Chains A and B, each alone.
Chain A
Amino acid sequence: MDYAVHSEDSPPLPQDEIVYLQRLVATRWVAGALLVLATFFSVRFLGLLLPEFELYVLAVIILLYNLALAAIVARVRRQSLHISGLSKRLLEFQILLDLLSLLVFVHFTGGLTSPGLALLFLHAIIVTILVGGIAPYMYILVSLISVVLIGLFESEGFLAHFIVIPYVSADLHQNGLFLLIQVGFLAMGMLAAAAITSSIMGPLRQRERQLSALFQITESVSESLEVDTVLGRLAEEMSAALRPQAVTVHLLQLDGHTLTRRATVGYGFPEHADIDNRNTNLYNKAMAGQIVSVSGAEARRDAAFAGLGMELQHIILVPMINDRTLGICSVYFSIRPDNVAALEGFLKAIARVGANAIERAMVHAALQRAEQQRTQFVHIVTHELRSPVTGAQSLLRVLTGDLLGTLSEQQRDILSRLSRRMDALLVLINDLLALAAARARDFQQPLQTLVLQDTVEVVINEYCYQAQEKSIELLTELDADGIKALVTEDGWQRIVSNLVGNAIKYTSEGGIVKVKLSADHEHISLLVVDTGIGIPADNIEKLGTDFYRADNARSSGILGTGLGLATVKQFVNTFQGQMVVNSVVGEGTTFTISIPRSE
């Protein structure tokens, strides 16, 4: 019994069954049509003495039951009925019907003198292709017996005999020797056809099942990015495909020679047995990249397998290789497999898939770890940076608030400068933290569906005072009431706040800042328009780069860190939105942010 995925007796895969049935039905249409045409042609043009009427009736019957079968197959396909054995029964039923039709055809075209006997060879081949195992031979037996019976009955006169080919002796069909020869050749021919076909079909079916199993395994292990899940699934799928005694998966540790068992299917393994591949010949060979196949006795001598509590006949060690050997899959058999070479080939393919999936999972894990470390670092650093600044600032304010005595003008001036520097430092630290948080996935809030207008209204309120101080007219046109988008509260608030803050900051006294919120079928758009200093055209594409400030902004004396727009850009990206900047130096700027609606 081959160990490559089930035995030949088990049913083909459901998709295959449907395809076979459909092909049979299709072939039968052709057969029925051919029968009609051939009969017509033979009688009219070749002058053969065929029982026309009966043959046409046979053709009609064939076409009718094909119609019925076609309907059944279509129904099975549409409803995806996988009632175990249903397709097999349907197949057997069709084979019998076809055999019957063939026998009737043979009878009407001369019985054992019929040239149509050759069709039985064809049918034998078809049956062997469709059905595996011993069934084709049963079929051959049945058809031979039937043919013999037809021959005998015609010979004895119980059945009519039709002389089809003219000039053939009228009582040939009663010639015992002739009958014997015909049946003899028929038997040999059918048996040979079945044997040859089956020797081809065997490996073919095996390959099909291997491919299907490989596909299944690939899908299963590729679904997960967790190393342990991938390993577990790999072991399970291999076990399901090969039906061995057991499967284990070992991964190589960082020291380069210890193999740790990470997944097991089956029993009889000691707990947590690490293997040092320097001590064991077989594992050493496998880690070098070779697939290693040993019989039970030889395996039991190797240190790695000593003490395994099961009766082993055969073990195969398959290295999982990407650009290096990641580990080993071991498959343990209690019955020696037949075609070890083919099995090894199959296992190599599985190991390749496994190695890929494991590598992917490992990379993913490393990436997550790195990101986590980075965000932790940033968080700690910025907190550590803030604390001295807030401490110093608090003390400065105590002094400048005259709480410890009135200060002289100069003292107050210097302390105020110190205070301003501290403020600027704090703003920079906060901006950095915000930007880092925007970029670090771990820091993010989950996306939620929010009404965007609400936040805009809050931010406008917050900036009213600042705008008033500079006599800037803060206008609003908010037409997106109740409209939602998939964003984070913090991120959206930062976008609006940064843009409105910038607009006010870079617009001089008496200017105008307008905030417009509107929506169409697909997007919500936020426009922040100002009559400020504007942005030079060639600076626009660099906006949003860390620490970048436009030339005129830098020389304006207005304080800025160059991180605000970078933060805005980061959040806009996260929300799958777009940012567009339009500006004329000296006249003003418009920032347009559009974000997809969520309903």
Chain B
Amino acid sequence: MAKILVVDDDPDIALATKVALESAGHEVVEARSSREGLDKVKQENPDLIVLDVMMDSATAGFQTALALRSQDPNSEFAAHRETPIVMLTSIHETTKMRFGPDEDYLPVDAFVDKPIDPAKFIGLVNELLTKQNV
């Protein structure tokens, strides 16, 4: 039973994710944009964050993840730096996207392809949450 923040501008994907997570017994908070998502992270202090890769722009998701993972000790998200992040993507082939000028690594914990397969998704989320608690 964890609090999970879902950040996605597509209401259908958000709903599907929410239903899946709630059926696994988790509490779900939603945000419709990366800005709202970052605010909610601070407000709600979630145990795990689900982020869509493309929101207002092609790289909104990655930019949000970068902000959350910032190594700057004075970052406003310092407290949430270790929160697991799951990224929802619709790019299932190997085309790599450049999501930031200097980053060579992906600051997220897992990628999930859309459309969501509820069973697999729940399994992945639970796994990440368990790892976190250890």
- Among A393, A398, A422, A490, which residue has its beta carbon within 8 angstroms of that of B20? A398
Instruction: Report B-chain residues with C-beta under 8 Å of the C-beta of A386.
Output: 90
Residues B118 and A393 in contact, CB atoms below 8 Å apart: no
Q: Quick one: which of A390, A398, A401, A437 contacts B95, CB cutoff 8 A?
A: A437
Residue B94, interface by CB 8 Å: yes
Residues A397 and B93 in contact in the complex (CB < 8 Å), given A391-B10, A391-B12, A404-B19: no
How many residues of chain A are within 8 Å of chain B by beta carbon? 24
* B94 engages A394 (CB within 8 Å): no
Binds A, one of B33-41, B71-79, B109-117: B109-117
B16 touches A387 (CB 8 A): no
Determine whether A434 belongs to the interface, using a CB cutoff of 8 Å to chain B.
yes
| A403 in the interface (beta carbon within 8 A) | yes
CB-nearest residue of chain B relative to A494?
B93
Q: Bound state CA distance, A258 and B20, in angstroms?
A: 64
B54 — which chain A residues lie within 8 A by C-beta? 383
Q: Which of under 10, 10 to 19, 20 to 34, or 35 or more describes the interface residues of B?
A: 20 to 34
Q: Is there an interface contact between A393 and B115, defined as CB atoms closer than 8 Å? A: yes
Contact A430 B92 (CB under 8 A): yes
Whether A489 is near chain B, meaning CB under 8 Å from some CB there, is: yes
Do residues B15 and A397 form an inter-chain contact, with CB atoms below 8 A?
no
**Which residues 346-395 of A have a CB within 8 angstroms of B?**
383, 386-387, 389-395
- Contact between chains at B115 and A401 (CB < 8 Å): no
> In the bound complex, how far is the Cα of B42 from the Cα of A66, in angstroms?
96
- The answer to the question of B13 belonging to the interface, with a C-beta cut-off of 8 Å to chain A, is yes
Of residues 398 through 452 on chain A, the ones whose CB sits less than 8 Å from some CB of chain B are 398, 401, 403-404, 422, 426, 430, 434, 437, 443
Those of B19-41 within 8 Å (CB) of chain A: 19-20, 23
Q: CB within 8 Å of A: which of B49-65?
A: 54
Chain B: which residue is nearest A493 at the CB level?
Answer: B94
Is B119 in contact with chain A by the CB < 8 A criterion?
yes
CB-contact partner of B114 in A390, A434, A493, under 8 A: A390
A388 vs chain B, min Cβ distance (A)? 8
Which B-chain residue is minimally distant from A389 (CB atoms)? B115
Given A437-B95, A490-B93, the answer on whether A401 and B12 have CB atoms closer than 8 Å is no
Cα–Cα distance between A409 and B77 once the two chains are bound (Å)? 48
Instruction: Report chain A residues within 8 Å CB of B10.
Output: 387, 391
Q: Which residue of B lies closest to A404 (CB)?
A: B19
A434 pairs with B119, CB closer than 8 A: no
CB-CB under 8 A from B16, the residues of chain A are 391, 394-395, 397-398
B residues 71-102 in Cβ contact with A at 8 Å = 90, 92-95
> In the complex, A443 Cα to B19 Cα: how many Å?
37
For the complex, what is the distance from the CA of A393 to the CA of B15, rounded to whole Å?
12
List the B residue with the shortest CB-CB distance to A437.
B95
- B13 near A490 (CB under 8 angstroms)? no
Q: Whose C-beta in chain B lies nearest to the C-beta of A386?
A: B90
Q: State the CA gap A44–B90 with chains docked (Å).
A: 105
Is A401's CB under 8 angstroms from B90's CB?
no
Assuming the contacts A395-B12, A398-B16, A398-B19, asked whether A490 and B95 have C-beta atoms less than 8 A apart, the reply is: yes
- Per-position binary interface string of chain A over residues 290-331, scored 1 when its CB falls under 8 Å from any chain B CB and 0 otherwise: 000000000000000000000000000000000000000000
Q: Would you call A391 and B13 a contact (CB within 8 A)?
A: yes
The answer, among A389, A397, A443, for a CB contact under 8 Å with B118, is A397
* Min CB–CB distance B69 → chain A (angstroms): 26
A386 to B118, CA, bound (A): 19
Report Cα–Cα, A393/B114, bound state, in Å: 9
Using Cβ atoms and an 8 Å threshold, which residues of chain B touch A437? 95
Q: How far is the CB of A258 from chain B (nearest CB, A)?
A: 38
Q: Which residue of A lies closest to B8 (CB)?
A: A391
Q: Contact check, A403 vs B20: say whether CB atoms are below 8 A apart.
A: yes
Q: How far is the CB of B59 from chain A (nearest CB, A)?
A: 13
Q: What residue in chain A is nearest B17 (Cβ atoms)?
A: A394
Given contacts A395-B15, A398-B16, A404-B19, contact A390 B115 (CB under 8 A): yes
For the complex, what is the distance from the CA of A88 to the CA of B62, rounded to whole Å?
70
For B114, the chain A residues whose CB sits under 8 A away are 390, 393-394
Give the residues in chain A near B23, CB-CB below 8 Å. 403-404
Closest chain B residue to A396, Cβ basis: B115
Complex Cα distance A422/B54, Å? 21
Give the Cβ gap from A437 to chain B, nearest Cβ, in Å: 7
Tell me if A401 and B119 are in contact (CB < 8 A). Answer: yes
A152-182 interface (Cβ within 8 A of B): none
Return the contact of A387 from the options B15, B90, B93, B116 (Cβ within 8 A): B90
A490 and B118 within 8 A (CB): no
Of chain B, the residue at the smallest CB distance from A443 is B95
Q: How far is the CB of A454 from chain B (nearest CB, A)?
A: 14
Are the CB atoms of B19 and A390 closer together than 8 Å?
A: no
* Minimum Cβ distance to chain B for residue A570 (Å): 15
Contacts of B19 in A (CB 8 A): 398, 403-404
- B90 and A394 contact, CB distance less than 8 A: no
User: How long is the Cα–Cα vector from A187 to B61 in the complex, in angstroms?
Assistant: 95
Contacts of A489 in B (CB 8 A): 94
A403 and B94 form a contact (CB under 8 A): no
Can you name the residue of chain B whose Cβ is closest to the Cβ of A397? B118
Count chain A CB atoms within 10 A of each CB in B16, B23, B114 and give the residue with the most. B16
Interface residues of B (CB under 8 A from A): 10, 12-13, 15-17, 19-20, 23, 54, 90, 92-95, 114-119
Other A-B pairs, 12, CB within 8 Å; known A391-B10, A398-B20, A398-B118: A386-B90, A391-B115, A393-B115, A394-B12, A395-B12, A398-B15, A398-B19, A398-B116, A403-B118, A404-B23, A430-B93, A490-B95
Question: Top 7 closest A-B pairs, CB basis?
Answer: A393-B115, A391-B12, A394-B16, A390-B114, A403-B23, A394-B115, A394-B116
Can you list 16 residue pairs at the A/B interface with Cβ under 8 Å? A386-B90, A389-B115, A390-B13, A390-B90, A391-B115, A394-B16, A394-B116, A395-B16, A397-B16, A397-B116, A397-B118, A398-B15, A398-B16, A398-B118, A401-B20, A404-B19
